[in-house]
A and B are shown apart, each in its own frame.
Chain A
Amino acid sequence: MPRSLEDTIAAIATAPGPAGLAVVRVSGAQALGAADVVFRASGRAGRAEAVTLTAADSHTLHHGWAVDAHGARLDEVVAAIFRAPRSYTREDVVEFSCHGGGQSARRVLAALLAAGARLAGPGEFTLRAFVLGRLDLAQAEAVADLIHAETAAAADLALAQLAGELSRRIAALAERVTDALATVEAHVDFAEDVGGVEVPQSVREELREVSAALGALIASGAYARAVRGGVPAAIVGRPNAGKSSLFNALLGEARAIVAPVAGTTRDRVSEAIEIAGVRVMLSDTAGLREIGDAGHAVEGAAGAWAGDAIEAVGMQRAVAALQGAALVLWVVDASSPLAAEDRAVAARVAALPRARVVVALNKADLPARVAAEDVMALVPGARAQAVSALSGAGVEALRGAIAHALGGGDAGDAPALAGAVADPRHAEALARARDAVQRASAAAAQALPGEIVALELREALAAIGEVTGTHIGEDLLDRIFNRFCIGK
């Protein structure tokens, strides 16, 4: 299906690779609306003013946070508003400046797509600029060349990714969907020849399997995407558990300030480390003291910095880091009994919908006052590792546990990267394909007419076609005629 000029489109506008800043651009009639779904303006402490981009003037900048559908913060961003026609495309445009490194830009992009934008094709912003008259005729040839060049580059990239195992897996699934569609179509167009119009039971089963296989393919991509994009990870725990010490131990250098006073670390300190080939963006955070609103967590805290508003801000950031993290390292001081504060942290961690959790039972050089089972009961599904940040004992094993949690497994158990969906564009298209297959299978189960089932399967094939770049289904009639005896 060719691209429509009516859609609102979004894409990362800056080149991939390490950089200080990445820009995500969204353009179209719904650009401001989609941007507002994703954007939360920063207010002064305790007094969040509701700034919406839809209401903002053209050519203004707005500081705030990009959030996902659950309201979890994705990144600190600056949104720039360009209203039509004074924009690059001559449509309404919002540009989000995010932190560099790709990961946060991709998450902001994903949020915009979830808010209704469509991923822009190669050269599509420029195409619109041209079609809407911002570029003059002399530039037309250049635009055509640009689209071509970008397409060729994207195709090379996609081809490289799709070579081998992955393309075989996707092609095999496309094949199965096409076969299912051929059977459904045969029952629609040639009911008299193939016996009945109902979608056969075998097709319904096949569709269930295909949707599961698509789901597995998408899931397998998580590690691969982690390899490409890096994983945001947060070190959390109550004050003085040894978070900063462990952060340093993992980094192998004294990066964070370590102090025997609770509340020493007031800001997030981030550093990238490499574990099992994955770039892990590790953030040390302020200690979490209270389960409630982090802004009020200072109440009743002991220590020199108690009541300090600065620490409160640090804790607010800790909460944000926690929510934005794909991986959480919970540090427990195993040399003292589990405290209410520990349970409060555990409750927060356990409530995270998607993050993988690793528990560090720290201070293993001291006599243990905490049973591992008691800790694990608080965060089901997590992995635990005894470690001493002080002596360094267990740090390697902790790296192993993190690698495992990332899906990388232990040495020798390397995941099948070759067969995984690394590109978020592909993952998104395959997710749409899976949803469509699921709808098809539900429609068949409800005995809806074959043309409804076919409608969904065609949508699934179109989505898969975006990944493979092929028009699937053109040989539909071949399949029908080869399989069924058509014609009285």
Chain B
Amino acid sequence: MNAQTPADMAAARAARQAQAERREGSWDVVVIGAGHAGCEAAHACARMGLRTALLTVRIEDTAKMSCNPAIGGIAKGHMVREIDALGGVMGRITDLAGIQFKMLNRGRGPAVWSPRAQCDKAQYSAQMLALLDAVPGLEFVAGIANHVRLERGRVAGVELADGRVLGARAVVITPGTFLNGLIHIGPRKLEGGRIGEHAARALSECLAELGLERGRLKTGTPPRLHRDSIDWSALVPAPGDAVPVPFSHWTAVLELEQVLCWATHTNEATHRVIREAMHLSPLYSGEIAGVGPRYCPSLEDKVVKFPERVSHHIFLEPEGRDVDEVYVNGVSTSMPQEVQVAFIHTIRGLERARFIRPGYAVEYDFVLPHQLAPTLEVQKVPGLYLAGQICGTSGYEEAAAQGFIAGVNAALAVQGRAPFVLRRDQAYIGVLIDDLVTKEHREPYRMFTSAAEHRLLLRADNADERLCEIGHELGLVTGDEIAQVRAKLAALDSEAARLARVSVSVPGVGGETRSVRAHDWLARPESTYARLADLGVDLALPPSWRETLEVRLKYRGYIERQQRTASQAAAIDGVMLPPALWDEALNGLSSEAREKLVRWRPATLGQASRITGVSPSDVAVLMVHARRAGKIG
């Protein structure tokens, strides 16, 4: 392997692709699309013991980062920690490919400390491919999925564009931005889910034929520049953390050498170029029908919506350690390329920058997610699961979280086991899926911490405590791994108990020395576990576990409050609503509630209660019907 030349490697890849393009047969589960959702889904299925095919167009593009070269960030980083604690792969791969780690919001509130890492894109894909290749029972198939084949109303397989048919007992569809993808660069339009790639038209039609209601969304990406055309001396360096913290609970050390990012900003001249060319932007000329994410606005949007702002931040992020491509974070755009070149050249440090690729916007179809069960199974089509961008979300992490849930549930269903659903107070992943299946969505859904009503319970530092046992039961967290977690939790508990017994001497208000319990002292806002050493207490916990103990003590009152409301919510989330309910008259419900409920067909009373238009008394009425139906059925 080490001795291979780039040419050898390219040849090996081509051979592998060619072989995968001939593969046929029958599997327990076929996953369509080796994006971030598809990789998690296929990995979970295979690890749970199912024969799994991962069908994708180009194997080399596995887990390709379509947009920015970073994983994590606020709320997204939480989800990666959760996927990792459940036995998923995104966190491990990020640690293998990360070239700049940063714990966002360190020193701020405990609920929002969030890991983020810049990655080497090529490494990310290569590492994912290597990991998946090593999973027994998982096979790559290369090709384009056109059709889902049904037998007796159930999923039976997938038909490919070249005529092959893959048999399957369950199918997970994760085609990202490719469903009828249409790329805009100014007035220029290209079919494709990413620039230079295909657009899955037949597959989108197939979903419509299955009776699924679709919508159209849009997203965008900034230009990529040549590294050597940038005047780095004019930019401000933006380093990562001095001591990078890994994403994964199972990573001991980070191997890759860390790099710098660089900051600059737009100016009046940049905005002038944008304003003068506004009529050429497909966003503003009405060319784009899909709705874009407001949290990720194009530069056009920022200039129009915030005219008083004379400058916007830009970060230059290398897409790898030794690659030429530099990602220009902050200037997502769909302007014609000439305009992009003109405004980029107004920016300090980029005056002579050369383009590798222009920024562009992409419109694509998605499936309105209220048609899904919380397992991500299509309600109308048993055995068919959807995950990722196709469900109306945006972002690698959101996609991976859904891929994991869909994959696990597809596997459980094939094995005849009970479905797996995370509650809103258990994980951001639970919030994500619940929001998808209960809310109405007007723009691509992205996770924010404010979406979680039990935010203090769902911290990045306690993902293992919340989820590892569940991952272990699913068979995705190994015996060694769970032993590690149990040891940590036991150590935290016994340390908390010890600090409740030990007293420390601290200065009182009048300067006199007072004796207080160590855990009371630690609960004070300014106290830290490390400083207990100065007070003569030995420190029993390694640094990476201390934060959890500090948070537990400092925010105990608030955490307990959230636990109480969470357990109340859990009670109504435990009341199942049998699907047969929706065929009944359901008297006593308001008409708005009835209409919504029949359309959404929520699986639990809790979900019903979160649908807009369903009032608390509708919930009470529904509980009556649920119990009646439950007794009869």
Contact = CB atoms under 8 A, between A and B. Distances in A.
A4 B571 contact: yes
B562 A188 contact: no
Q: Which residue of B586, B621, B624 has the most chain A CB atoms within 10 A of its CB atom?
A: B624
A140 B625 contact: yes
A452 B624 contact: no
Contact of B111 (A4, A141, A449, A476): A449
Nearest to B446: A477
A6 B571 contact: yes
Interface string B603-633: 0011001001001110111011101100110
A485 B302 contact: yes
A336 interface: no
A474 B109 contact: no
A166 to B, nearest CB: 21
Given A140-B625, A141-B587, A452-B558, A147 B617 contact: yes
Contact of B314 (A131, A185, A192, A488): A488
Interface stretch (B176-184, B202-210, B292-300): B292-300
Contact of A144 (B448, B624, B632): B624
A447 B565 CA distance: 25
Contact of B455 (A2, A145, A147, A451): A451
A450 B111 CA distance: 9
Contact of A147 (B111, B456, B620, B632): B620
A127 B621 CA distance: 8
A137 B627 CA distance: 9
Contact of A2 (B112, B555, B616): B616
A471 interface: yes
Given A148-B617, A481-B295, A488-B315, A4 B572 contact: yes
B329 A469 contact: no
A454 interface: yes
A124 interface: yes
Contacts of A6: 568, 571
Nearest to A450: B109
B628 A189 contact: no
A450 B590 CA distance: 37
A348 to B, nearest CB: 40
Contact of B450 (A121, A185, A471, A486): A185
B312 interface: yes
Contacts of B620: 3, 121-124, 127, 147
A465 to B, nearest CB: 10
Contacts of A455: 455-456, 558, 561-562
The interface size bin for chain B is: 35 or more
Contacts of A141: 587-588, 628
A488 B313 contact: yes
A143 interface: yes
B312 A449 contact: no
Given A191-B108, A488-B315, A476 B624 contact: no
B301 to A, nearest CB: 9
A477 B448 contact: yes
Nearest to B107: A197
Interface string A375-398: 000000000000000000000000
Nearest to B565: A1
Given A6-B571, A191-B105, A477-B448, A140 B624 contact: yes
A151 B588 CA distance: 10
B589 interface: yes
B69 to A, nearest CB: 13
A88 interface: no
Contacts of B571: 4-6
Contacts of A447: 525
A469 B571 CA distance: 23
Contacts of B105: 191, 197
A130 interface: yes
B108 A485 contact: no
A452 B108 CA distance: 11
A3 B294 contact: no
Interface of A: 1-6, 121-124, 127, 130-131, 137, 140-141, 143-145, 147-148, 150-151, 185, 188-192, 197, 446-452, 454-455, 458, 469, 471, 474, 476-477, 481, 485-488
Shortest 7 CB-CB contacts between residues of A and residues of B: A449-B109, A144-B588, A151-B617, A148-B588, A4-B568, A2-B609, A481-B294
Given A130-B624, A188-B112, A191-B105, 19 more contacts: A1-B565, A1-B616, A2-B616, A3-B620, A127-B620, A147-B624, A148-B587, A148-B589, A188-B109, A448-B109, A449-B108, A449-B110, A450-B108, A451-B449, A451-B455, A469-B615, A476-B450, A488-B315, A488-B330
22 contacts: A1-B565, A1-B616, A2-B609, A3-B620, A4-B572, A121-B616, A123-B617, A124-B620, A127-B624, A137-B632, A140-B627, A144-B586, A151-B615, A185-B450, A188-B450, A197-B109, A197-B112, A449-B109, A450-B109, A454-B450, A455-B456, A488-B312
